Amino acid sequence: MRNRGPIIVGVFSLLLGAVEPGRGQQVVDRIAARVESDVILLSEVQELSRYQFLVDGKSESDSVLLDRLLDQWIVRNEARISLFPEPSERDVERSLQRLKRTFSSEEEFRERQRQSGLTDRDLLRILKLQLYLSNYLDTRFRPSIQVADQDVEEYYRSRVVPRAESGGQTPPTLEASREFIQEALVLRAINDQADRWLKESRSRLRVDKLLDGGSE
């Protein structure tokens, strides 16, 4: 699947399409899952599906989407308990512009947005929460990560050089690639640590999945 998400997301594909419909809306809706004393609504699953369609042109199954929403619930609760600051409007706008640049034109982006059924307001809200969650994960796990020189060199030999050569290009030097490689390895490590933490956190939660008729 081609990832059109914000550049900061790598990990953060764990949480692709973070959404949180307004809880104040009085709308008849089906409960997809109960998690502790909260609920995840079918409308949230559907909105995540629409966002994934906007980003990638297709979306995952409802059961996978529900699992992503459960992970988002964990991260959001932890972030709010720690009083983690929300992203600024400027940062949200930058996230939107990064997303738009993954399309060939503004027209292509707008057409996909129209097909998804997401309004501008929907999209900005989704991006804001996605950025909030991914920023929290970055802040939580990045300080503990160390990247060894040998890992940078191995990534350069196994990923950067072959990719350049396959495209008929001269590979950049190791030093020219070092900063990019280090960040890629940091993001991969954040992803691994976040994945382990989410699995441990989910094992301690009471979750009733009504969408599948199952429980955890």
pLDDT for residue 151 is more than 60: yes
Q: Strand 207-209's sheet: what is its strand order?
A: 38-41, 31-35, 207-209, 214-215
Average confidence (pLDDT) over 33-51: 96
Residue with the larger pLDDT of the pair 102 and 13: 102
pLDDT at 211: 82
Q: What is the pLDDT of residue 29?
A: 82
Q: How confident is the model over 101-144, as pLDDT tens digits?
A: 999 999 999 999 999 999 999 999 999 999 999 999 999 999 99
Query: What crossing angle do the helices spanning 62-81 and 42-56 adopt, rounded to 10°?
Result: 100
pLDDT for residue 21 is more than 70 = no
Q: Which fold has domain 11-146+194-210?
A: Triger factor/SurA peptide-binding fold (1.10.4030)
In angstroms, the CA 87 to CA 128 distance is 7
pTM: 0.81
Do residues 127 and 92 touch, judged by C-beta distance below 8 A? Answer: yes
Report pLDDT for 1.
37
Of the chain, the percentage scoring pLDDT greater than 70 comes to 85
pLDDT of residue 18: 45
The answer, yes or no, to whether residue 27 has pLDDT greater than 50, is: no
Bridge partners, 207 (sequence order): 35
Q: How do the domains of the chain map onto residue ranges? A: 11-146+194-210
The region, left, alpha or beta by phi > 0 then psi within -120 to 50, assigned to residue 213 is: left
Share of the chain above pLDDT 90, in %: 84
C-alpha 32/C-alpha 213 separation (Å) is 9
Q: pLDDT category, 13, cuts 50, 70, 90?
A: low
* Whole-number Å distance between alpha carbons of 3 and 16: 10
Counting every residue written for the chain, the total comes to 216
**Three-state secondary structure along the chain?**
CCCCCCCCCCHHHHHCCCCCCCCCCCCCCCEEEEECCEEEEHHHHHHHHHHHHHHHCCCCCHHHHHHHHHHHHHHHHHHHHCCCCCCCHHHHHHHHHHHHHCCCCHHHHHHHHHHHCCCHHHHHHHHHHHHHHHHHHHHHHHHHCCCCHHHHHHHHHHHHHHHHHHCCCCCCCHHHHHHHHHHHHHHHHHHHHHHHHHHHHHHCCCEEECCCCEEC
For the chain, the average pLDDT equals 88
First CA to last CA distance, the chain: 29
Residue 70 confidence (pLDDT) above 50: yes
15 falls in which pLDDT band (50, 70, 90)?
low
The answer to which of 2-16, 28-42, 135-149 has the lowest mean pLDDT is 2-16
CB-CB neighbours of 203 under 10 Å: 8
- Model confidence band, residue 215 (pLDDT cutoffs 50, 70, 90): low
Cross-strand partners of 38: 35
